[in-house]
Amino acid sequence: MGLTDTQYNTIMRDYQRQQTRNQRSLAARTEEVYQRIPELSRLDADIASASTACARRLLSDEPASVAELRAQIAGLSAQKKELLCKAGYPEDYLLPRYRCADCQDTGYIGSERCHCFRQAAIDLLYTQSNLREIVEKENFSTFSLDYYSEQFTDPLTGATARQTAAYALGECRRFVRDFDRKFENIFLYGNTGLGKTFLAHCVAKELLETAHSVVYFSALRLFRLFARVEFGKQRDYGQPDLEEHIFDCDLLIIDDLGTELVNLFVCSQLFDLLNERILHRKSTLISTNLSLELFADTYKERIFSRVSSHYLMLRMVGEDIRVKKKFD
């Protein structure tokens, strides 16, 4: 599960807060019942005393007397339930109430993370990915090849727009399938409106659903953020540490690379980011409307070299799908 230390601690703090709420709720119910049924306070004291004696005798290896104490505790507990029911309370009114009964709000069952922990991780990762709403609409189940023409042919490869889209779709599915056992990166390029961002969202949803950390940024927003942090206007962005999120997430998506104002600062930051993620085998998905030639001219040789040698290059061709949809 792709959680940083900060993300893990965020989840565990929520469990601690829930445990505190559970304790306060039980204490309030207990105080309420004791005021209405004073006899219950004595019964609870007797049960606690008998339980302590039982534990001591277990340690002293006195099984006969332990059996007697257990019978005594059972009798006292039965009296307690009877009093509660007579007063109109459910018999479990003074038992702890848990948000998750399986792990009793600890997040763990033995040494294994509970199903509620896994769900909490997915919820947190969705929130921090900036993608929760969009991936409900844009995912593999809603991606359609019908918008890609069989008549439009890529002059470079001779393949139709639908064939190139089908290949890119298949490779994105395989990328997700192999994600935990094979380090890869994806570079989606082609003209505007061909589904590159849609495919990025498809990949993001699948990985988020399996509790991988995914962070999405448009290139414009990403480099504005780097500038604010670098030049002291903003030390962080309201979430846990910037480096944890952008440099250490399982998948970083940089969308629309090339729409930002490219200068020496941007090129330096981009190179450092891509290089660090490659060195630490953290996957990155980049989409751009630039051709490979223009990308190489814009970001210079050392960045193009990193991308061309470490990324799966997926070219998209065809007619602008957004224009087509307007006339459907």
Does residue 277 surpass a pLDDT of 90? yes
* Entry pTM: 0.69
The pair of three-digit structure tokens given for residue 157, joined into one six-digit string: 């490869």
Instruction: Summarize pLDDT for 9-31 with one digit per residue, the tens.
Output: 999 999 999 999 999 999 999 89
Q: Which one of 82, 113, 144 terminates a domain?
A: 113
Q: What pLDDT score does 214 carry?
A: 86
Q: What pLDDT score does 44 carry?
A: 75
Instruction: Summarize pLDDT for 128-165 with one digit per residue, the tens.
Output: 776 778 888 899 999 999 989 888 888 888 889 999 99
Does residue 327 surpass a pLDDT of 70? no
Domain match, 57 and 21 both: yes
H-helix or E-strand spanning residue 22: helix 5-36
Domain assignment present for 121:
no
- Residue pair 251/214 in contact by the 8 Å Cβ criterion: yes
Banded model confidence at residue 187, pLDDT cuts 50, 70, 90: very high
Q: Tell me the C-alpha to C-alpha distance, in Å, between residue 247 and each of 20, 274, 279, 303.
A: 34, 9, 11, 17
Domain assignment present for 303:
yes
Domain match, 159 and 246 both: yes
Does residue 237 surpass a pLDDT of 50? no
Domain assignment present for 122:
no
Does residue 236 surpass a pLDDT of 70? no
Tell me the CATH number at 226: 3.40.50.300
Count CA atoms within 13 Å of residue 23 on its CB side: 6
- Residue pair 155/191 in contact by the 8 Å Cβ criterion: no
Q: Which one of 81, 113, 145 terminates a domain?
A: 113
Of the ranges 18-32, 229-243, 263-277, which one carries the lowest mean pLDDT score? 229-243
Domain match, 149 and 109 both: no
- Residue pair 42/79 in contact by the 8 Å Cβ criterion: no
Q: Which residues contact 304 (CB under 8 A, 6 or more apart)?
A: 295, 296
Residue 24's domain spans which residues? 5-113
Domain assignment present for 124:
no
Domain match, 135 and 81 both: no
Burial class of residue 45 (count of CB atoms within 10 Å of its CB; 0-12, 13-18, 19+): exposed
Q: Tell me the C-alpha to C-alpha distance, in Å, between residue 108 and each of 25, 113, 115, 126, 307.
A: 22, 4, 9, 21, 41
